[in-house]
Amino acid sequence: MSSNFTVSEAIKRMQPSATLAAAAVAAELKSSGADVIDLSIGEPDFDTPQHIKNYAIDALRRGITKYTPTAGLKSLQKAIIGFYEREFGTTFGANQIIATVGGKQAIFNAVLSLINADDEVLLHQPYWVSFPEIVNFTGAKIVEIETEATHFVLTAEAVKNAITDKTKLIIVNSPGNPSGRVIPSDEFRRIVEICAERNVYVISDECYLKFVYPPAEVFSTASLPKELQDFVCIAGTFSKTFAMTGWRVGYTVANQEWTRGMAKLQSHSTSHPTSFAQEACALALDNWDETNLALNQMLAEYSRRRDYLIPALNELGLPCEMPEGAFYAFPNVRGCFDGQIKTSADFADLLLKEAHIVTTDGAGFGVEGFVRVSYAAKFERLQEAIERIRRII
């Protein structure tokens, strides 16, 4: 007897995560003993700051090991409220906040609780690989906004031109993954204004919120007036900012109705993130001076790497915009195309095979002809990568 098993239509539509696939290639190559330079995944190479680990150990000792409310521990909700009050002067209600299993679930919750199959959703290229797949899950139509002409910075004008009567949502990501570009505050505000005028909601993926290199400025939609905030769902995460990827704690901040919908969905999926991880995150935010110190130390190192890597890529003939945030470079590799190398996937493959460097092909981010280079890797490895690339191109 054979079962004729077939996955659902929603899963058929879905592509596997290109970033996680690249990371898996790197892991496999490493396990074969190769000297791999892994510039694939966006994962801090720093360990979680010790004081945050201690909070989790202490939380375990205190017996915070049971279910929490779906929306998260009160202590974490309070700490998130305190963070936005301190940093952006806005006081959210606890009924606007849900703790999620990483930033990915935050976006999943926000999309699935808002979007119907006959809606249109705007994504600005290059977008994080999971955005289109999450939207595809709903069956809605994706409308991509090209930004190459504006150096990968989304403009209000482009958003205005892309909105139709069917547009229900735009997912905005600044600092952007994979471009690292930052939308200037005034422009971002204008984008939200245009959306609000047309009754379009905004998911603001602020997962790299604090990873901004001066003179660019940190901007959160939390600083917008209440009437604009009502159209926005902030997706945040502890993963990148505090080097806590494996802890899987993120959150959403949105209007009460949207939050109620997301809580309903989450109550039937993960319930909530791990209890003692939530408590550690709450204490990390409450003890901000110590946490901020650790954050700034990491930021200074990312900044040093950026200042080395981007000029070095440009000098190799791989033109690359200067990213103002996050920890990615997104060089244009079209200049290397020839009889053999016809796509950015071919180029990424060349780096993999000839130099044992793992990057992520830009096509997964919606832009052919670029590769993403994560500089969440040791400085010396970046130098070595540049030398290896110099040898092969």
Residue 20 within binding range of ligand GLU, rule CB under 6 A: yes
Nearer to ligand GLU, 155 or 177 (CB): 177
Q: Please select the residue that binds ligand GLU; options are 96, 167, 177, 266, rule is CB under 6 A.
A: 177
Q: Over the range 83-93, which residues count as b (16 or more CB within 10 Å of their CB) and which as e?
A: bbeeebebebe
**Rounded distance between C-alpha atoms, residue 133 and residue 138, angstroms:** 9
Site for ligand GLU in 103-122 (CB under 6 A): 104
Neighbours of 10 (CB within 10 A): 12
Nearer to ligand GLU, 101 or 183 (CB): 101
Q: Over the range 28-54, which residues count as b (16 or more CB within 10 Å of their CB) and which as e?
A: ebeeeeeebbbbbbbbbbeebbeebee
- DSSP symbol at 149: G
Site for ligand GLU in 130-149 (CB under 6 A): 130
Q: Could you tell me the maximum CA-CA distance found in the chain, to the nearest angstrom?
A: 66
Residue 41 within binding range of ligand GLU, rule CB under 6 A: yes
Q: Please select the residue that binds ligand GLU; options are 37, 38, 42, 140, rule is CB under 6 A.
A: 42
Residues that bind ligand GLU (rule: CB under 6 A) add up to a total of 10
Residue 19 within binding range of ligand GLU, rule CB under 6 A: yes
Q: How far is the CB of 128 from ligand GLU (least distance, A)?
A: 6
Neighbours of 151 (CB within 10 A): 10
Residue 369 within binding range of ligand GLU, rule CB under 6 A: no
> Binding segment for ligand GLU among 92-100, 127-135, 271-279, 290-298 (CB under 6 A)?
127-135
Q: How far is the CB of 328 from ligand GLU (least distance, A)?
A: 8
> Binding segment for ligand GLU among 2-10, 52-60, 128-136, 152-160 (CB under 6 A)?
128-136
Bridge pairing between strands 232-237 and 250-253? antiparallel
Kind and range of the H or E element at 285? helix 275-286
Query: Token pair for residue 240?
Result: 């990148």
Strand partners, 98: 252
Nearer to ligand GLU, 42 or 323 (CB): 42
Q: How far is the CB of 271 from ligand GLU (least distance, A)?
A: 21
CB closest to ligand GLU, residue no: 42
Nearer to ligand GLU, 17 or 185 (CB): 17
Residue 17 within binding range of ligand GLU, rule CB under 6 A: yes
The residue among 139, 132, 102, 111 whose CA lies nearest residue 15 is: 132
Site for ligand GLU in 282-321 (CB under 6 A): none
Kind and range of the H or E element at 120? strand 120-124
Nearer to ligand GLU, 38 or 187 (CB): 38
Which residues contact residue 13 at a Cβ distance below 8 angstroms, ignoring those fewer than 6 apart?
136, 137, 139
3-state secondary structure of 67: coil
Q: How far is the CB of 74 from ligand GLU (least distance, A)?
A: 28
**Rounded distance between C-alpha atoms, residue 174 and residue 237, angstroms:** 14
Q: Could you list the residues that contact ligand GLU (CB under 6 A)?
A: 17, 19-20, 41-42, 104, 128-130, 177
